[in-house]
Chains A and B, each alone.
Chain A
Amino acid sequence: MSDREFQGYVHVRQDSGQCMFTLRANLASTKIKAAVKSATGVAFPNRGLCEVSEGCTLAWMSPDELLIMVPTAQAQKLLTGLEAALEGLHVLLEDVSDARAKFILSGAHVREVLGKLAPMDCHPAQFPVGSFNRTRFAQVAGAVFMEQEDLISIICFRSVQDYVFTLFCDAVAPGSEVLL
């Protein structure tokens, strides 16, 4: 994956330096929570949220799915630790690093750019910093992580990364500001 970028009225950049793991498990289970917490050192996220610590991100995907994101350099260590901590529990942990593409939007108007493509309420009160949401970007599935007030990470499937990059470049075209 390339690390392409585009400067519109919001900056769009692809970030390929992340590994991602999908954990299917009963997230209500205290054993699961404790195991994940001990292996990652990150607080367990509540519904619709992300928790981040030392570069490792836990994102709530559904009541039985967690997305774990970590810089590539830390990935192998984290995976080994997770596998050990979850040993014997009914879970499915899969490496999905290569199945996904990640882009970073940055700039003052990131929320409205998201609002052009994703049918979700992007208002700060409804989607505060730290929120995580599964949605769609125009015609493809995706997920959004509100990292900072002016910085959003978005995730899509690798097969449609060209489409998603073009989509966001188009949405940030200077002159197309909505300016709520």
Chain B
Amino acid sequence: MSTRLASHGRLINRAHAVTFTFNGRVMNGFEGDTLAASLLANDQMLMGRSFKYHRPRGVVASGGEEPNALINLGVEGHFEPNARATTTETFNGLTAASQNHFPTLEFDVAAINSKVARFLPAGFYYKMFIHPRSFWKHVYEPIIRKSAGLGKAPKARDADKYEHFYHFCEVMVVGGGIAGLQAAKTAAATGVRVLLVEQTAHWGGRAPVDGVRIEGMPAEEWIAATLADLAVRNNVVIRNRTQGSGVYDHGYALAYERISDHTPGDGRPRHRLWRVRCKQIVTATGAIERPLSFAGNDIPGVMLAAAVRDYVVNFGVSPGDRTVVVTNNDDAYRTALTLKQAGLEVPVILDARAEGGGILMAEALAAGIRVELGRGIAQVLGGKRVTGVQICAQAGEGSVLEEIACDVVAMSGGWSPVVHLWSHCGGKLIWDLDQAMFRPDPNQPPLGADGAGFVRVVGLANGHLRSAAALADAAAQGAAAAKAAGGKAKKTAVAKGEDAEELPLAPVWLMPQGASYKLRSKAWLDFQNDVKVSDVQLAAQEGFESVEHAKRYTTLGMATDQGKLSNINGLAILSKALNVDIPDVGTTTFRPPYTPISMASLAGEARGELFQPIRKTPMHDWHDSHGADWEPVAGWRRTYAYLQPGESVHQAVQREVINTREKLGLLDASTLGKIVVKGPDAGKFLDMMYTNMMSNLKPGRCRYGLMCSENGFLFDDGVVARIDEQTWLCHTTSGGADRIHAHMEEWLQTEWWDWNVWVVNITEQLAQVGVVGPNARKLLEKLGGMDVSAETLPFMAWADGEIGGFACRAYRISFSGELSYEIAVPANRGLEFWEMLMEAGAEFGVMPYGTECLHIMRAEKGFIMIGDETDGTVIPQDLGLNWAISKKKDDFLGKRAQQRSFMDNPDRWQLVGLETLDGSELEDGAYAIAVGTNANGQTNTEGRVTSTYHSPTMGRGIAMGLVHNGPARMGEVLSFTKIGAAPVKAKIVSQVFYDPEGEKPNV
């Protein structure tokens, strides 16, 4: 039985009882409990099932390293799978359910896997499910996927709020144990900004549990005093329930604050992700106790020795009445002494060391506890709960000397420093032979941009298991970190720690050391993933000698705890099997985060309405209330078509084209890029930017221009207007505005820094409206204010003036093939201007049109669209745009590239129009089929469709495409692919389908 004690419980508030449910059963706990403590207090040792064999699992640890006690937490919008009971604070109304079992936790049918375990050794899945090949996808994988997995996937939308916080400081200290507190205190004294984070709700770490005294007082008092000292300093930020999760390059670190996990529904965000930039990081992350590998070490009731005393001291919870302690070191004697002091039975301490321990052993003997030296556990007895142990000689093969009844086994195999954060960014480790542990190699730290280390490890995490050394280390390194971060050197007193002297441990990687196969195949390394000593040995035997290979073959350390308990034991077994030293086997890679953090905290505020910014034109809301069917364009929303009641999108598009061609259409062209280029060298600059001449454009006139990358590929186009002697205004594509602006700045800043040219992107300053169609001029003349006649404002001219009382700039340009004006007004008046045009245009049949109508009209005219006819591999010459490539200029961006042999070559795919013989529409991207097959056995192709529409003007399908030697093959009929159907025949024609003489716009 596990139960609540009348004594102890330094972290719980007995005055404040809470009620929660586990698998529907109502249970009681106290404020300050972890869920694991509450469950144990309710005699719920069985907390889950293992991943592979579905074996019953009890809690083994008391912190973030816990592999077993994973639960489904909360319901619906607050549901979270795989929550660790050891790090979940109990609160009133908490709902928890165990995972990975069917039908119930107590009776799981899949536990049969355990009985056939000898048929499921390491690599079983790889060996078994590969035959026959086709079965994997259709038979094995679906079944395995269904049976695997721990927690359930959440189904409801996350109801909580999450956020990020950018924090800057000089020194970040991770871990609020005594070493972290000391390091923070020392660093803070130098005046630099310090951030101190602690993952649990409590400060001080293990010291208060382990009976450490500091400066002559109990650790708890020193912790409170140090915390109070730090709290009043305005250069220190301290945060509990905040885990230093990851260390990255350049002093970047992530900290994961669990704000309201323990107070759900109080209106606070659930998690906050701190994105920290600091100069130095000090990790005081403590150490994790190692399990011992003996048969039956996974039976509920077998726990880490330190965890057993944590439950007693911190939560006043007894994991059981009779606890057998098994150890290879002195520290575990503290557990025996604690239990004895709490009035619980310790029938025996099994010390694997033949010589036993020091002062702590003497104390245990004095307390009347039986101590057996050179002894170990042959096998634990019990199923869903420990009932006893069989004792054997550690040196032997496991012959049973004696059976002792107990309900808890407290095991300790020594301590492994938490080196994760040190290693995240490349810090190396050394093997400490005396302490049998990997600890940070101070000579190989993770390096910052300056080539110097930026992470320091202190205290237990640095291999200092005794408090005096840990505190001295923390003080020294805290000061060094602060100095490296720019702090003023200041001498601060080092707190003196006292604890019992300890004798060295003896490494024990297998118990007993000569355990038979039968025992080894019941000695668990990875509790969650069911990896046993025999599995790792098999992996080595089968040639998986690299630790990374052995890990993946056996799944050792691949569980949600990422091998916090299993890795060192596993690689010790591997080293033995390979007959090499442990450091020669090495460790697997430590990757952030330290423990799993919520996906939602990574997303932060970016969800729902804030998932992605949507750029809106000044007329956005008008479009929205007038039937806009939206299309995303370069972060903007543009109207694809305006749907009238009862219309389909296709019908709306067809109507808009016909109305614009016959009467009058309005287009919101505000998204077009508008870049002002000015200066004495602006003409010269634009001649380099565009393939054609811009320097000889006359003020008051416009010219269509092409821009190429330095590799010669066409990447933007638009109309350029010359404003005055030194000023040009360049229109870019909607998607190109920011890109072309940056492109211009880059050339001006890096290459032609001595040219006198300034550039400003004024895209969003102006609302721009296309007034398009035969009635366009009539509308503008009705509104009045400026002369828009063909004489004063001819095709490809522009003028400043006023229309209907709005100061504006009017351009006579056309992308539709109709009489067309584009009129720019200040953005703040854009909506007003638009509404005026709509109202005044009613008598001329005005209708707004969207981007698809624009596309069809330009395709009917054979105008290219960047992104349709171009894809980054197309040069202007491919599109028949040679007329827009100046031959007079010495140079322009792309000129040299276009002279390369494979560019300056008629043997390319070139732009043509395509008309299907049956009038249907070709598929976008369809390929023209050529004879024969290529080296890969694929059908040869000789062209592809770049734009294809149903043209309401022509009453048939029209298309443009790039065809091998296309312009020379007019009239030829090609076959184009159609997915799931027979190829479609189409004739090569001119791409100008509508008004080939260009009479319409020029009136």
Contacts and interface: CB of A to CB of B under 8 A. Distances in A.
Interface in A79-118: 90-92, 94-100, 112, 115-118
B978 to A, nearest CB: 40
B518 to A, nearest CB: 57
A178 B168 contact: no
B678 interface: yes
Contacts of A174: 267
A22 B167 CA distance: 31
A126 interface: yes
Given A94-B676, A158-B827, A99 B765 contact: yes
Contact of A158 (B193, B269, B605, B764): B764
B124 interface: no
A159 interface: yes
Interface in A1-29: 1, 22, 24-25
B762 A99 contact: yes
Interface stretch (B609-617, B639-647, B905-913): B609-617
Contacts of B168: 121-123, 126
A159 B636 contact: yes
B612 A139 contact: yes
B827 A160 contact: no
User: Which applies to chain B's interface (DSSP): helix, strand, loop or mixed?
Assistant: mixed
B636 to A, nearest CB: 7
Interface in B138-178: 161, 163-168
A157 B610 contact: no
A54 interface: no
A26 B762 CA distance: 20
A180 interface: yes
A176 B760 contact: no
Contact of B165 (A115, A162, A167, A170): A115
Nearest to B764: A99
B764 A170 contact: no
B760 A178 contact: no
Contacts of B167: 115
Interface residues on A, range: 35 or more
B161 A176 contact: yes
B245 to A, nearest CB: 18
A175 B758 contact: no
A178 B255 CA distance: 14
Given A92-B676, A94-B765, A115-B167, A176 B613 contact: no
Contacts of A94: 676, 760, 762, 765
A173 B610 CA distance: 14
B597 interface: no
B762 A118 contact: no
Nearest to B162: A176
A41 interface: no
Interface in B743-786: 756, 758-760, 762-766
Contacts of B237: 180
Nearest to A115: B166
Contacts of A100: 764
A41 B105 CA distance: 78
Contacts of B801: none
B680 interface: yes
Contact of B610 (A159, A163, A178, A180): A163
Contacts of B604: 138
Nearest to A120: B166
Nearest to A92: B758
B144 to A, nearest CB: 39
A166 interface: yes
B681 to A, nearest CB: 9
A176 to B, nearest CB: 5
B269 A175 contact: yes
Contacts of B762: 94, 96, 99
Contacts of A173: 161
Contacts of B679: 90, 92
A95 B636 CA distance: 23
B678 A92 contact: yes
B268 interface: yes
A174 B266 CA distance: 11
B267 A98 contact: no
Contacts of A112: 165
B764 A178 contact: no
Nearest to A118: B166
A160 B161 contact: no
Given A1-B828, A90-B680, A98 B765 contact: yes
A166 B269 CA distance: 17
B193 A166 contact: no
Contacts of A180: 237
Given A139-B613, A140-B613, A175-B266, A116 B760 contact: no
Given A92-B760, A116-B166, A175-B269, A98 B826 contact: yes
Contact of B616 (A90, A162, A170): A162
Contacts of B618: 158
Contacts of A90: 679-680, 756, 758
Contact of A170 (B605, B680, B763): B605
Contacts of B5: none
A36 interface: no
A68 B758 CA distance: 17
A176 B255 CA distance: 17
Contact of B606 (A99, A139, A171, A176): A139
A99 B756 CA distance: 25
Contacts of B760: 22, 24, 92, 94, 96
B55 interface: no
B275 interface: yes
Which among B267, B606, B680, B760 has the greatest number of chain A C-beta atoms within 10 A?
B760
B268 A166 contact: no
A28 B765 CA distance: 27
A124 to B, nearest CB: 10
A57 to B, nearest CB: 19
Interface string B661-684: 000000000000000101110000
Interface in A137-153: 138-140
A160 B615 contact: yes
B272 interface: yes
Contacts of A98: 764-766, 826-828
Given A24-B759, A139-B613, A163-B610, A123 B193 contact: yes
- What 3 pairs between A and B have smallest CB-CB spacing? A92-B758, A159-B615, A175-B267
Given A123-B193, A138-B605, 7 more contacts: A25-B758, A99-B764, A159-B616, A162-B616, A163-B610, A171-B163, A173-B161
